[in-house]
Amino acid sequence: MTPPDTTPPGHPALPMAEGDQGGAVRDLQRRLTAVGLHTAADGVFGPHTRQMLNSFQQSRGLMVSDVCDTSTWAALVEAGFALGDRLLYLTRPMTRGDDVAQLQQHLGGLGFDAGRIDGIFGPDTDHALREFQRNSGLTIDGLGGPATLHHLGRLGNRIDRPAAVAGVRERERLRSAPRNLHQRRVVVAHGGGVDAIAHALARSLGEAGAEVVVIQHHDPSAVARQANEFRSELLIDLEVGDAPTWCAYYRSGDFESTGGRRLAEIMTPVLIGVGLAGAPAQGMRLPTLRESRMPAVMIHIGPTSEAVTNAAAITAACTEAIAAWIRDPLDPEV
């Protein structure tokens, strides 16, 4: 049995930026070309390579930064796998890739709950795959190999647009959840620079009855893991910078967190209402949003000077938006 590629996504030459040269840049260029963003593999990180890199980041819901960092490199590696390229099964660390996302989409479309379509082969995907094998009369081994994928493909061809069971379950949970903050579990995370807002928001939500945990972090995956272990019902991740304010929720391909999108769309105009310049809510594939198992939003507060001078108003606005979301967590059209 050939194990799946679980090599850590880091790269010895990271980060890479315009002006860099060498074999690592050539590797980057080849990977960009492989996903349809044609770049000459000349080993020189020039303006065209930067443009293609930014296009890739935008298409994958990552920060458009002009720089190939660890998250971008990992996304490029994952984008290189199509379903059937390798044997898929539960490992530690968990296998990641576009092939896993395709597997999850097929399983979900057939009614087997593989969890979110996040491209991460975790316990939910393993359970769904085994249930599919059981229902199909196949060997129940949890292996996404040729026989299982062939059978899955034949059945999947009958589905016009596969839908994730996880999306349906999220909407059901939100519909049945209490319409107040009493004993609701919330995580407020931040990477520094907004300590006062994070702790004030936690106090405000706590006064309304919520059980709140504040996490300061530099590792978004660790935040998602802690929020999952806490069984949080909502994750708010705050950051500050010079760019205008924006809110993001999880989205990958056709799948999105319905609750996360609703909160981001409520939060954006409320923050703009306190004088912050803002951009529309956007679906992204950032690690905190991707790896958390509850509705989550990332809130970028900017410019930095506003986070300092308007801290009280920003805290009140965030509290107001969360309370409005708790009362009405789903878009009326959903």
Instruction: Return the CATH number at 251.
Output: 3.40.630.40
Is 235 part of a structural domain of the chain?
A: yes
Strand partners, 297: 236
The amino acid at residue 19 is G
Residues 217 and 268 in one domain: yes
Is 48 part of a structural domain of the chain?
A: yes
C-alpha distance from residue 74 to each of 8, 10, 41, 77, 202 (Å)? 8, 7, 19, 5, 33
Residues 209 and 312 in one domain: yes
CA distance 173 to 181: 15
Q: How far is CA 238 from the centre of its chain?
A: 15
- Domain of 45 in residue numbering reads as 23-79
For residue 12, the model assigns a pLDDT of 59
Is 203 part of a structural domain of the chain?
A: yes
Residues 149 and 183 in one domain: no
Kindly report, residue by residue over 215-251, the tens digit of the pLDDT: 998 899 999 999 999 999 999 999 998 888 999 999 9
Residues 194 and 279 in one domain: yes
Is 318 part of a structural domain of the chain?
A: yes
pTM: 0.90
Report yes or no: 334 and 258 within 8 Å, Cβ to Cβ.
yes
Average pLDDT over residues 287-292: 95
C-alpha distance from residue 182 to each of 42, 223, 319, 323 (Å)? 59, 23, 14, 11
Strand partners, 189: 215, 237
Residues 75 and 188 in one domain: no
Q: Which of 181, 330, 318 is nearest to 262 (CA)?
A: 330
CA distance 103 to 100: 5
Instruction: Return the CATH number at 67.
Output: 1.10.101.10
Residues 193 and 308 in one domain: yes
Residues 75 and 102 in one domain: no
Strands 234-240 and 246-252: unpaired
Kindly report, residue by residue over 161-216, the tens digit of the pLDDT: 555 678 888 999 999 999 999 999 999 999 988 999 999 999 999 999 999 999 99
Residue 1, pLDDT > 90, answer: no
- The tokens for 218 are 């530099």
Count of the separate structural domains present in the chain: 3
Q: Which of 273, 234, 258, 263 is nearest to 334 (CA)?
A: 258
Residues 322 and 247 in one domain: yes
Residue 6, pLDDT > 50, answer: no
Residues 115 and 227 in one domain: no
- The tokens for 130 are 């085994």
CA distance 208 to 199: 14
Residues 138 and 197 in one domain: no
Is 59 part of a structural domain of the chain?
A: yes
Kindly report, residue by residue over 37-74, the tens digit of the pLDDT: 999 999 999 999 999 999 999 999 999 999 999 999 99
CA distance 26 to 139: 43
- The tokens for 119 are 């491209």
